[in-house]
Amino acid sequence: MMRAVILYEYPFNERLRTYLRLEHLLRRLGELVPRSHPLDHHYALATLFEVMDVAARADLKSDLLKDLEKQKSLFDGYRGNPSISEKALNVVVDKLNECFAMLNAQNGKAGQALLENDWLMSVRSRVAIPGGTCSFDLPAYHAWQYLPPEQRQHDLQTWAATLAPLAESVYLLMRLLRDSGTAQKVAAERGQFQQNLPAGRTFQLLRLRIDPALQLIPEISANRLLVSVRLLQAEASGKLAQSTRDAAFELTLCA
């Protein structure tokens, strides 16, 4: 059995930061909705509102559509290559087309339909306030939490379904991006690692896997020319200090 590792990801641009945040929130939402406890469903709603906040970026939809179209053109360029399965290629291109059509057909921003739900918006306005969803503040929300779990799950699934085009597009683009990288084993000398990046290539995502037994935390910085990783360790006070130990980890650069 492989030893568990901790995966860190570092985006090279603001667009990827948004995608990673959305993916993180959407996966959390997917974990919380199937549960049955009212507290889990409270945090599912809070996560739904966080997704709406992150997705409120005016250029998000156009960025996703451009990236889906770019990936489709890239995969179409592989047609006729004897080393690539046409069947597998068709599966990926069909999925890209499906996500493009779903997202393009959606009016407005992701979750736009939820803005017309007065009950949801009343909860949203109180969630960010500490203790703002107490029974005396939102009696209707308090009553909702006493509904059968199946009814709450159905409501949450209905609301989350409005985010499906966004979720499917983000999941697909991130999977394709991650698959584009090749992992390499590298070593940090005295807790520091640097690598020059090849000219003419634009990387979008750095992935770093490290053994948790090392008890080291990577501090990553990167630009189009250079990747730098400092390995930090926690002191008794809780502060992070530069490690002076040699350590190995796995690095993947995704374009």
pLDDT in tens, 152-211: 999 999 999 999 999 999 999 999 999 999 999 999 999 999 999 998 889 999 999 999
Q: Could you tell me the pTM of the whole model? A: 0.93
pLDDT in tens, 90-99: 999 999 999 9
Mean pLDDT of 225-250: 95
DSSP 172-184: HHHHHHHHT-EEE
Mean pLDDT of 46-71: 95
Distance CA 77, CA 71 (A): 10
End-to-end Cα, the chain, rounded Å: 30
Per DSSP, the three-state class of 239 is coil
> Which domains does the chain show, CATH number per domain?
24-175 (1.10.3900.10), 181-254 (2.60.440.10)
In the chain, count of helices (H) and strands (E)?
A: 8, 8
CB 104 within 8 A of CB 65: yes
Residue 112 DSSP class: G
Distance CA 20, CA 5 (A): 19
pLDDT category at 82 given cuts 50, 70, 90 is: confident
pLDDT category at 84 given cuts 50, 70, 90 is: confident
Residue with tokens 């005396």: 136
| 198: amino acid identity, one letter | P
Residue 16 DSSP class: H
Distance CA 251, CA 8 (A): 10
Sign of the torsion formed by the C-alpha atoms of 187, 189, 194 and 196: negative
pLDDT in tens, 103-157: 999 988 888 889 999 999 999 999 999 999 999 999 999 999 999 999 999 999 9
